[in-house]
């Protein structure tokens, strides 16, 4: 568990697995942190050098002073530099939700470096300009609420959203663990993340999906109707793609059904493709 300074941010990251193994970068979602990947890393670190970070505004990574520059494109550039600093030239990439949107930016920015791409509960952004403006305003209002009412209030409100309803079926211990990890964040950090990396402020990437170079796997949970549909739409635009539905999971299959995700993702990352 170490830190490296890149750009305006002191990044916290974890680096597990032998250095001569293929590298795998894992990117968490909004309100998450690197430790949400514990079960996945435990299963994959014998085959991959697993690198996971706390993204800006989350966990133990500093919240940049100039948050106005902390956009998806900038964070993708910083991540590319961070990996270079720790000796990683080429890497596989697995991003969840907000981390999946960031993974798309990374894969488009560094096509020669990303070998294989896994997008879980991800989207290319919001195509309609009016919908995008509406979402930006909603996120800005929510960011203000987070700062006014605090982290504990927000974590309770966030986990009650229908998107995470299936997680109510997880064990009491696992639900408590998720809350513990989310409480490692700060209200100012999450607020700045919403304002800078939210779906509304992100430029939509639909028109660039056909430019993706790495073979791509799209993961969606059986119960996640919204992102199942988004995933299918993306699959129709990405050149080399495999769509995988994870049974008995909602928006976060890697957290809800980690064993099923590993069974799907490991062979894909090792080069065993299926037909489109």
| Count of residues making up the chain | 276
Read off the pLDDT band of 276 (50, 70, 90).
very low
What's the rounded Cα separation, in Å, for the pair 138 and 193?
14
Mean pLDDT of 126-130: 96
The per-residue pLDDT for 63 is 75
Helices (H), 110-224: 129-149, 151-159, 172-182, 187-197
* pLDDT tens column, 38-51: 999 999 999 999 99
Spatial contact of 117 and 215, defined as CB atoms under 8 Å apart: yes
- The SS3 call for residue 23 is strand
218-256 as b/e: b if 16+ CB within 10 A: bbbbbbbeebbebbeebbebbeebbbbbbeebbbbbbbb
Residue 38, CA distances (Å) to 27, 30, 128, 183, 254 in order: 12, 17, 36, 17, 10
Mean pLDDT of 122-126: 97
Spatial contact of 219 and 244, defined as CB atoms under 8 Å apart: yes
Residue for token digits 């993340």? 193
For the chain, domains (ranges, CATH) are 2-126+203-269 (3.40.50.1820)
* pLDDT tens column, 66-102: 655 678 999 999 999 999 999 999 999 999 999 999 9
The per-residue pLDDT for 11 is 84
- Residues contacting 257, CB < 8 A, separation 6+: 221, 246, 247, 248, 249
The per-residue pLDDT for 75 is 92
pTM of the prediction? 0.95
The per-residue pLDDT for 193 is 93
Residue for token digits 């996945």? 40
What's the rounded Cα separation, in Å, for the pair 46 and 48?
6
The upper half-sphere exposure of residue 86, i.e. CA atoms within 13 Å in the direction of its Cβ, equals 27
């Amino acid at each position: 568990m170490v830190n490296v300074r890149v750009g305006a941010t002191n990044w916290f990251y974890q680096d597990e697995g032998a250095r001569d193994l293929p590298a795998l970068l894992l990117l968490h979602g909004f309100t998450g942190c690197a430790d949400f990947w514990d079960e996945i890393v435990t299963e994959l670190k014998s085959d991959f050098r697993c690198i996971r970070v706390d993204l800006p505004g989350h966990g133990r990574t500093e919240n940049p002073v100039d948050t106005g520059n902390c956009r998806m494109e900038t964070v993708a550039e910083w991540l590319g530099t961070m990996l270079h600093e720790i000796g990683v030239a080429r890497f596989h990439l697995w991003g969840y939700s907000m981390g999946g949107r960031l993974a798309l930016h990374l894969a488009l920015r560094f096509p020669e470096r990303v070998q294989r791409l896994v997008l879980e509960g991800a989207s290319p952004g919001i195509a309609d300009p009016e919908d995008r403006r509406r979402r930006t305003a909603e996120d800005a209002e929510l960011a203000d609420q987070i700062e006014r009412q605090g982290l504990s209030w927000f974590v309770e409100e966030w986990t009650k959203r229908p998107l995470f309803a299936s997680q109510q079926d997880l064990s009491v211990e696992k639900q408590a663990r998720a809350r513990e990890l989310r409480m490692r964040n700060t209200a100012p950090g999450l607020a700045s993340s919403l304002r800078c990396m939210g779906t509304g402020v992100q430029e939509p990437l639909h028109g660039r999906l056909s430019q993706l170079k790495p073979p791509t796997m799209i993961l969606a949970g059986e119960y996640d109707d919204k992102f199942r549909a988004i995933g299918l739409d993306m699959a129709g635009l990405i050149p080399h793609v495999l769509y995988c539905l994870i049974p008995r999971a909602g928006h976060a299959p890697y957290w809800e059904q980690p064993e099923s995700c590993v069974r799907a993702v490991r062979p894909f990352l090792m080069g065993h493709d299926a037909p489109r």
